[in-house]
Structure 1
Amino acid sequence: MGLCVLLCVLLSAVSPLRGDSSCSAPSRPVCYKPSRRADEDFTCQWTTEGDMTGFSYTLYLRNETNGIFQNFNASKELSYILTFESVSLDIQLQVWVSAHRGHSSCSSASTSLRLDQAVKYPAPHVKKKTRGNELLSLECQKPGDNMGAYYEIRYRKTGDVSRAWSYKNSTTEDYKPDLFQVSVLREAAYEVQVRRRAKEVRHAQWSDWSAPIYMPLKLDKPPVVKWDVELRKNKTARTLKLSWEPPSAGASVGGVMYHLSYVTWPCDTQPSTLTISNTEHSIPITLSAAQVTIYATNSAGLSPSQTIAVPPVPHLTVCPPESTTFLKRNLSKMESDKKLRRLCWEWYRLGDGQTRDRPAEVKSATLRTATNITEIAVMEDYVRYYYFVHLRASPKRNPHTLYSCPVYKTESTPKVKPGNLTVVNVSYSWLEVCWQPIPVPELRGFLTHYQLCLSGDCENVPENQTCKTFQHLTPATEYNISVAGATSQGLGPPATETIWTSEDPTTQTGTLKKWIVTIACLVCLCLLAACPLVCIRLRNKLPAVPKPVIASVKYSPNTQEVHPPKEEVHVVTLECVQKTPETLRVKLEEGCRLLREGGDAGEEEEEEEEEEEEEEEGMGTDEEQDEMTIETNECNIPLNPNYKCQTLRIPEVTVTTEGTLREIECEVTSPVYKNGLFFDVKVEPCENMGTSL
């Protein structure tokens, strides 16, 4: 009987039996251990196709040396774990799996292997990944045997699943970290997967691929944070609203997380931390200063951090009396409450009255020890501090500010005087004076008022006022002005100024007119006295009338430029016109009439032309002068000495008592060259008619 069962098993190993068409043969079983250690158990796995509901599986092992069988019932699972004590490790085995349900059964093909040489590492776990400019650095967790392995890395750019993978192989050493690097483009994000296989093993198998590792771009910049603070209705706490922009798409591959660090309770020694994935968050804060730090992380690393400093509410300049009463009243109510309530005292030194110049100090105090800030804090004398009293009913509730106020441990008088005391406007009956406030470090106490004095009359000015107007003053009067700051301990040094008021405009107008008249008279006298001096000086400065100077030039024949003479010959015909006494008398009368009309024009000629004309007339003969005298007497008109140059150019007619008609008839006019350019007329007797030109 046993022989028959063995024969059936052998036949099923050679060729799978299918009792029913619904039975689908499983795949070849794969058996392996997760490391190279000898005490590791083995896992055998197989797969099926089709609907195998209700089938049970049996795993068979046959020793190829002695033919001994081993079977293991896997029930309805698709895997089975073989303990290393239950199997032979150093011999060759035939392994297959059989599926059966009722009378239906089928078997897979067999696999030959040695179990001690069958190793399949689990999928690698990347425990560290960093990205440089063009390199991806990966570090995987070593397998259980801490031995080296063969690694295969595949990677591709994100955003396109159809893109082909790029591969790189790497080998690690025993007992050393499994590190490797991949060269990538700087401006691209990548998807990376890793698998490995044992070294020096005959039946080593590749592990499964690791989960996708996304390598985004490096976060080079801190988050750009926008924030806003809202005061709550009770005015004892605030809400800080934060928002920031996400990084670029390449840097957001694989997701981005944001890490916030802040302090809501000032007395906490450690800040609260929060990690979120959204880009908005609200934080409850007190009325004092707050600070929030935020940075982003992705698969490539951390971004630089961004710190948001939220200033406190505006500081009070003085501590209101009702605030102290309010604090005492609330403390008395809390003391009657049985629940534990804690207070947080926070204080810091003010450098300029509004900003702190040193880090804030905090101290927790229970209601039993809470009395006064000056008893709790260590403070300097004459230095202004600012403190807050924060309250938190329970750790789960948000804190709020109960009280805030400026404080001095010890006060004194101001150290310096008010600055820049100036009279900005002044008139005959009023003036306005202004000054600069005393700096807070020099006050050495709370400023209560300013004492302003005008020539001995003093009055107090509120501490927030730095200008004052005085009216009903006396015109043209000297006034002494002084101002000093005052604290609860007394007055500080005063600042002084002396000023004169102007004169009354009604009395000033008459005096001004008198001065104007006096000055005008003096100016006129000065001008009259200066005129003769100016005239004499101008006459002395005018140049003398120049006289013509004829320079004597020595004649030098060698320096003369001689041109060859040129001669022109003109043919001139002279006609002798016989003149009758009637003709001469008519012409003489016409000439006298024309001379009488043009006599007035000749009087306006210049003296130089008269002198030239006299010289020309002097060159004539005595007979011509006598004839001119006779003609003038006959016309009975005053003749212009330059009458011969008139445009009419009347021929000269000389009538003498000694002349005869023959002489008159025989007078001829002869052309004579003058200056080589034009003719002049000369009257000659008839016997000279043969004269050539």
Structure 2
Amino acid sequence: METFRCWSSLHGYVLFMFLTAISNGSACEVPSSPQCFRRTADESVYTCEWSLNTNESDVTFDLYIDGAKFGNFKRNWTKILEEELIQTRPVDIWLEAHVGNSFCASPKRSVVLEDTVKYETPQNISVSWMKNNLILRWRAVKTHPAQAEVWFRQYKHPTDPWEKRITNTTNEALNYRTVVGNLLKHSAYEVQIRHQSTEAQNPLWSDWSAVVIAPAELEHEPKVTMKIRPVNGTRIVTLTWPPTPHAAAVGGVTYTLSDTQTSQGCPCERKKHPIDRNKSTIYVSYSAVNISVFAKNAAGSSPQANIQVPTKPVADLQICDKTLVNEKLKRGTCLEWYELQDSRPTNVITLSGRTAKKERAKIKTNIKDYIRYLYFEHRCDDGKPQTVKMCLFYQKEGEPVKEPQDFIAFSEAQSSANLSWKAIPYNSQRGFLTHYSLCRVKISSQDEPEVCYNISASAVKHRLENLTPGSKYNISLAGVTRMGEGPKSTVTINTWPEKHLNVWLSFGLLFVFFLLTILCTVILKRIKNRIFPPVPTPVIPDFTPYQPECQGMLESKEEVHDLMLYQVHSERKSVSEEAEEATVLGGDWEDGTDEDVENETSGSGGSGDERLSPGSTDQALKTDLDQVDTELAMLIYKTGLVFDMKTDLL
């Protein structure tokens, strides 16, 4: 009874509830404090959500808002209409979690419900690069900007801590947009975002988005190489390009190909579909085709690579005999007209069997008269374009409106001359040239009529023959089509006279004359040198004045001696003859001596006869025969001069 009375008191009752809560709470986890909010300020439904860390499956929740119970929830969220809640003043919110016979209560939270807004998790996030700035876009909740928190880190360092940026977004076409600056555009990043309202007084952060991969920027266009192989009216074009860098290929990269033929359904239709390898093969017809290739990843697309497949060259294109211009076209048939300007195809006109009837009539009006076209007929054969006809086409022909260009004459001779010119431009021919008309007429001649020749339409030069020497001619040239002759281009030529001296022959003769003159001069000089050998120039040594030490030396006379050298002769000459020659030579030189010389000679102890005695002569000759075999020179010194005299062989 005593215990019952204690429980019946107010104090005992509160104590009992507290002990019960402790005993029951020990069997479950305390849930988080609930959050009640609207997704936008305009919504009339509140969402309340909470969390509980438990593996129990039979957990139920009771939500209390300002004492009102909303209970028996099996999930961790619920929706409540605004009519059931007090919105304008603060209310207490808490949660009770029941697990079996136990329950746990969360902490209470006091909020003003109408001021509380929590946005949805960011959806449809896209990334792109602008220089080194990463641009993030996602679907906007409202037209008013929001505040965003961005976490990011490099993809190749997944264990690094997240870097955080909080920025305000801008609205762009129903999307939020924010920029994360100062990153590396050649690196890949992991990114996640959450955002909140900037209008509500009590905004709540949204849940975090899933991690988004931002690959590196595709900065350059693919470097495409092309190989073409024609097969039976079709060309197989194989395209290859290098793989994309690894940082740009994170998250996957695809390539998109398109060409101007299939985009117009001429003659086959092909859906664009991305490919994930760096090689592709497409089929094109014989007409010119433009192919474009670009890469794409999650951060955007690369610049577009454009490849031009030229028209397949065909030798000797024929004139179209029959076309399908006015015929009903099948669905897989296509016609093309390429306007030819200076032999280059431009301004293509396409007519397909898929074209509507009214549109077809409008396209035909674009085909102009007097314009040359390169005409193609294509058909789709088993999904591949095939060219079945290729020829030159005029819808209507006329005569040329221009003369041949740069018409000149050169290399005129006595009876011939060469002519050259440039073809008439395609846009001035106004039809197919059948030939050129070349005419010549002699000036100041009434008897000789004008003579004309037909020259091939493909020719650009011609040689005129059978002209009259020393005459003047007017030459004219005009292009001719099936519809008539066009304007003429003229030139005047003068043939050489019949007895005209050949200038080149004159130059040749003059050259031969000079050559012979030089040759004769050289020969005569050689002959002269042999007959009249050159006289040697006397050698006069430099004289250096000498100052004697005394006057007596100046007064002394120079002594002059006669040196007589004998030449060895053959044995046929007698000794007396040799002595006679020596006497004669000695006498000749003695005429130039003075009295002192004579006195010295007489005082030498013997006469000339004694010096030329037979015994002494024989002894001198024997000595000379042993030592001298060549010619000897006689030197005479007189008054300081030196003379060199050669003795002739006898």
The residue type paired with residue 107 of structure 1 is F
The residue type paired with residue 291 of structure 1 is N
The residue type paired with residue 74 of structure 1 is F
Aligned to 1:96: 95
The residue type paired with residue 359 of structure 1 is N
2:607 match: secondary structure: helix
Aligned to 1:212: 211
Deviations along 1:227-275, one digit per CA (max 9) or x if unpaired, are 3344344x1x444443333432333344444444433258569x98846
**What is the distance in 2 between the residues matched to 1:638 and 1:440?**
114
1:628 and 2:607 aligned:
yes
Q: Tell which deviates more after alignment, 88-97 or 458-467.
A: 458-467
Aligned to 1:264: 261
Are the aligned partners of 1:295 and 1:304 in contact in 2 as well (CA < 8 Å)? yes
1:166 and 2:154 aligned:
no
Residue 598 and residue 482 in structure 1: after superposition, are their counterparts in 2 closer, same or farther (change >3 A)?
farther
The residue type paired with residue 110 of structure 1 is S
Out of 388, 394, 397, the position equivalent to 2:376 is 388
Are the aligned partners of 1:599 and 1:638 in contact in 2 as well (CA < 8 Å)? no
Out of 53, 77, 82, the position equivalent to 1:84 is 82
Deviations along 1:343-370, one digit per CA (max 9) or x if unpaired, are 54322321233x12x4212345789999
Aligned to 1:341: 331
**What is the distance in 2 between the residues matched to 1:95 and 1:258?**
55
Aligned to 2:341: 351
Out of 21, 31, 49, the position equivalent to 2:35 is 31
In the TM superposition, what is the alpha-carbon distance from 1:194 to its structure 2 partner?
1.9
Aligned to 1:231: 230
Deviations along 1:412-455, one digit per CA (max 9) or x if unpaired, are 479439978999xx9xxxx9x997884663766545678999xx
Are the aligned partners of 1:16 and 1:109 in contact in 2 as well (CA < 8 Å)? no
Aligned to 2:501: none
Are the aligned partners of 1:123 and 1:207 in contact in 2 as well (CA < 8 Å)? yes
**What is the distance in 2 between the residues matched to 1:604 and 1:436?**
98
1:183 match: secondary structure: coil
Residue 45 and residue 600 in structure 1: after superposition, are their counterparts in 2 closer, same or farther (change >3 A)?
farther
Aligned to 1:248: 245
**What is the distance in 1 between the residues matched to 2:108 and 2:316?**
92
**What is the distance in 1 between the residues matched to 2:239 and 2:432?**
37
1:17 and 2:24 aligned:
yes
1:121 and 2:110 aligned:
no
For 1:490-501, what aligned pairs fall within 5 Å after superposition?
none
Aligned to 1:60: 62
**What is the distance in 2 between the residues matched to 1:632 and 1:606?**
14
**What is the distance in 1 between the residues matched to 2:390 and 2:25?**
90
The residue type paired with residue 347 of structure 2 is P
In the TM superposition, what is the alpha-carbon distance from 1:377 to its structure 2 partner?
5.2
In the TM superposition, what is the alpha-carbon distance from 1:405 to its structure 2 partner?
1.2
Aligned to 1:293: 292
Q: Tell which deviates more after alignment, 162-171 or 440-449.
A: 440-449
**What is the distance in 2 between the residues matched to 1:372 and 1:31?**
69
1:122 match: secondary structure: coil
Q: What runs of 5+ residues in structure 1 fail to find an aligned partner?
A: 474-479, 501-511, 549-558, 568-595, 647-674, 676-693
**What is the distance in 2 between the residues matched to 1:310 and 1:217?**
32
For 1:97-496, what aligned pairs fall within 5 Å after superposition?
97-100=96-99, 104-114=100-110, 116=113, 119-125=117-123, 129-144=127-142, 146=144, 148-149=146-147, 151-171=148-168, 179-185=178-184, 187-198=186-197, 205-233=204-232, 235=233, 237-265=234-262, 274=272, 276-278=274-276, 279-315=278-314, 317-319=316-318, 324=322, 341=331, 344-353=334-343, 355-356=344-345, 358-363=346-351, 378-381=367-370, 383-391=371-379, 400-408=386-394, 409-410=396-397, 412=399, 415-416=403-404, 438=423, 441=426, 445-446=431-432
1:154 match: secondary structure: strand
Are the aligned partners of 2:94 and 2:106 in contact in 1 as well (CA < 8 Å)? yes
1:389 match: secondary structure: strand
**What is the distance in 2 between the residues matched to 1:118 and 1:344?**
65
In the TM superposition, what is the alpha-carbon distance from 1:406 to its structure 2 partner?
0.4
Are the aligned partners of 1:92 and 1:114 in contact in 2 as well (CA < 8 Å)? yes
The share of aligned pairs that are identical, in percent, is 20
1:221 match: secondary structure: coil
**What is the distance in 1 between the residues matched to 2:252 and 2:367?**
49
1:631 match: secondary structure: helix
2:78 match: secondary structure: strand
Aligned to 1:551: none
Q: What runs of 5+ residues in structure 2 fail to find an aligned partner?
A: 1-7, 440-449, 467-472, 497-504, 554-573, 625-638, 640-650
- The CA RMSD over aligned residues, in Å, is 6.5
In the TM superposition, what is the alpha-carbon distance from 1:162 to its structure 2 partner?
1.0
In the TM superposition, what is the alpha-carbon distance from 1:399 to its structure 2 partner?
5.0
TM-score normalised according to structure 1 size = 0.57
**What is the distance in 2 between the residues matched to 1:315 and 1:34?**
74
1:136 match: secondary structure: strand
Residue 139 and residue 166 in structure 1: after superposition, are their counterparts in 2 closer, same or farther (change >3 A)?
same
In the TM superposition, what is the alpha-carbon distance from 1:71 to its structure 2 partner?
3.7
Residue 231 and residue 7 in structure 1: after superposition, are their counterparts in 2 closer, same or farther (change >3 A)?
farther
**What is the distance in 1 between the residues matched to 2:549 and 2:176?**
123
Are the aligned partners of 1:288 and 1:313 in contact in 2 as well (CA < 8 Å)? yes
The residue type paired with residue 410 of structure 1 is E
Name the larger-Rg structure.
1
**What is the distance in 2 between the residues matched to 1:371 and 1:48?**
72
Aligned to 1:619: 597
Residue 626 and residue 264 in structure 1: after superposition, are their counterparts in 2 closer, same or farther (change >3 A)?
closer
In the TM superposition, what is the alpha-carbon distance from 1:152 to its structure 2 partner?
2.4
Are the aligned partners of 2:152 and 2:164 in contact in 1 as well (CA < 8 Å)? yes
1:563 and 2:549 aligned:
yes
Are the aligned partners of 1:16 and 1:108 in contact in 2 as well (CA < 8 Å)? no
Deviations along 1:210-235, one digit per CA (max 9) or x if unpaired, are 233333433332222223344344x1
Are the aligned partners of 2:146 and 2:196 in contact in 1 as well (CA < 8 Å)? no
Are the aligned partners of 1:445 and 1:487 in contact in 2 as well (CA < 8 Å)? yes
Residue 78 and residue 9 in structure 1: after superposition, are their counterparts in 2 closer, same or farther (change >3 A)?
farther
1:287 match: secondary structure: coil
Are the aligned partners of 1:13 and 1:96 in contact in 2 as well (CA < 8 Å)? no
**What is the distance in 1 between the residues matched to 2:207 and 2:587?**
137
Q: Tell which deviates more after alignment, 490-499 or 309-318.
A: 490-499
Deviations along 1:496-548, one digit per CA (max 9) or x if unpaired, are 99999xxxxxxxxxxx9xx99xx99xx79x979x989x99xxx9xx99x99x9
Are the aligned partners of 1:286 and 1:401 in contact in 2 as well (CA < 8 Å)? yes
Deviations along 1:390-426, one digit per CA (max 9) or x if unpaired, are 4469xx9555444321023315479439978999xx9
The residue type paired with residue 628 of structure 1 is S
Deviations along 1:247-305, one digit per CA (max 9) or x if unpaired, are 32333344444444433258569x98846252344444333222233334444444333
Query: How many pairs does the alignment contain?
Result: 542
Aligned to 1:508: none
In the TM superposition, what is the alpha-carbon distance from 1:161 to its structure 2 partner?
0.5
1:207 match: secondary structure: coil
Are the aligned partners of 2:219 and 2:302 in contact in 1 as well (CA < 8 Å)? yes
Aligned to 2:561: none
**What is the distance in 2 between the residues matched to 1:13 and 1:28?**
21
**What is the distance in 1 between the residues matched to 2:455 and 2:581?**
97
**What is the distance in 2 between the residues matched to 1:598 and 1:84?**
173
